[in-house]
Structure 1
């Protein structure tokens, strides 16, 4: 197996076979993100991708899951993705799911028919970053899309029959946009009704514009108490029946999990208990990405 640079994957892909289909991120300008700054985006030669899958087969007796890295595998030509998926199915008949990151831009260039065909070939779920449902936050963070754009692409994925996992980041609006960020992010989740909702908590990475803004005082971070208040407001406004909600990333101060909407009261009670006793939060020095 050959990997170029740092490789990132969602927490739920910890036990997946990971093969790079692209290098880096096709957008790579988000002000808060440092993940792919050391790489220039490129499509990996198809034969190299297929060779890695062939090489891995004798190394692993059983492969349940495959994750197509890096940041935006869906941007490849649909015909090439079909070849990759056919190869996975041929070499790993026991594989239950194949997933990848997808950006709103890469979803937009795929036709509905292409997405359905990729689903039929075995691409069962994509991970997409919403980050915020507030356009003012998205613009400042250089996301490159409006909330309406992102919601429309999430709905497009769901129409194809693929599962959709969407993430957002608490604290991304700072104190000034805290309420709008919480409420409008919940509204965006509700409009997409994804199978999975994941919440991270903002961490400032060196080498990013956000790091510079924090240093010069033009962006203020939320306190842990404010993060809890924002999270409570978001959860209060969530109305996405059946969505599995997870806030259990290493960046989070508080762990929350449940299935909407039934588990919302219990999650709100967990937040209220944490507000009464901040000592139960993850210490700052234990947070990570």
Structure 2
């Protein structure tokens, strides 16, 4: 017998991009795609590969509003099903391609796959308390502030239980936004921005074709902080290779100190075979640091850090290990509070340097 609520659930879908920050709840954060792909896609270490090098596109306001309405519809149907079956656990048995379509995942057509993907994202978000929303993709602030405010208000209206709305942003875009626009976005509900700082050294930034300068990072970061938007900056140990290692560390610390972000998240450079920097490494133009050299560079950076935020190693790309096989640094999203735990981080770095390099190399090879 046909179940009307299950059939209704199959009607809805919305756009979901490929990546999101792990600290935003991973699969438990509601994902709303406001732009598609990366507007730059020229960084030598990334080259837009997370987005399949697809062309950047701003999504239309009506398109996005329609997606948010689809999310609301999915949420409503799941609530009705949970009430009927007595729990969310029972609903999980419905969210299965075999149950909904009589097919395995790899047999679904594009519409069916997007439907299942959408339902799963909303279901996971509901199970986690419906606290966080992440606006995809790589640089949502490239949208007009007026349209972004409309989207934020629409989200808050339909999902008043949401505690945090966050997004990626490029420093070059953030630095050009007016302070009034950022305050307006904050007041509309934008709580946190994730920014790929990568390096605070202009030579490194130019070499990897980041499309931003140290001044862009500082101006954009300070502006976000002044607007009272929480700021999470990503740094990339090893990005300067052997040649620029020291200045990369020292100037990255300088820029962080100037900005004073809420979070600094370490993402050590890991070679990606689909990028220009990997080709330069293969050709000998770029010399990858050894695991101990990464730690020595990190030690210079940490010694020079003088900010009041948290330093986080919340990703497996921080490949260093202890003798017992556990990660050298905590992978907790809140990381280490500075300046209080600066000494602890330096002690951990020294511990990593005391361990045979082969222990770290094994993990680095696995990531590459």
In structure 2, the residue corresponding to 1:197 is in which secondary structure?
strand
1:1-289 alignment, distance < 5 Å: 1-3=13-15, 7-13=18-24, 14=26, 15-33=28-46, 34-57=49-72, 58-59=74-75, 60=122, 61=126, 62-241=129-308, 243-254=309-320, 255-256=329-330, 257-278=335-356, 281=360, 283-287=363-367
**Number of corresponding residues:** 286
The alignment's TM-score, normalised by the length of structure 1, stands at: 0.94
In structure 1, the residue corresponding to 2:50 is in which secondary structure?
coil
**Unaligned regions of 5+ residues in structure 2, if any?**
1-12, 76-121, 321-328
RMSD: 1.6
- Contact 1:197-1:246 at 8 Å conserved across structures: yes
- Contact 2:175-2:217 at 8 Å conserved across structures: no
Segments ≥4 residues shifted beyond 4 Å: none
- Contact 1:28-1:36 at 8 Å conserved across structures: no
Relative to structure 1, the CA distance from residue 269 to residue 280 in structure 2 (aligned partners, 3 Å threshold; closer, same or farther) is farther
Whole-angstrom CA distance in 1 between matches of 2:130 and 2:62: 21
- Asked which structure has the greater CA Rg, the reply is 2
- Contact 2:175-2:219 at 8 Å conserved across structures: no
The alignment's TM-score, normalised by the length of structure 2, stands at: 0.75
**Unaligned regions of 5+ residues in structure 1, if any?**
none
Structure 1 residue 216, shift from structure 2 partner: 0.8
1:222-278 Cα shifts (integer Å, max 9, x gaps)? 00010111111111111002x011013111123253100010001111111111114
More helix by share: 2
Partner residue in 1 for 2:9: none
Greater Cα shift, 89-98 or 31-40: 31-40
Structure 1 residue 280, shift from structure 2 partner: 5.8
- Contact 2:200-2:248 at 8 Å conserved across structures: yes
Whole-angstrom CA distance in 2 between matches of 1:174 and 1:109: 30
1:30-66 Cα shifts (integer Å, max 9, x gaps)? 1100323521111012222112212112334442000
Greater Cα shift, 243-252 or 165-174: 243-252
In structure 2, the residue corresponding to 1:273 is in which secondary structure?
helix
Whole-angstrom CA distance in 2 between matches of 1:239 and 1:105: 24
More strand by share: 1
Greater Cα shift, 31-40 or 20-29: 31-40
Structure 1 residue 160, shift from structure 2 partner: 0.7
Structure 1 residue 203, shift from structure 2 partner: 1.0
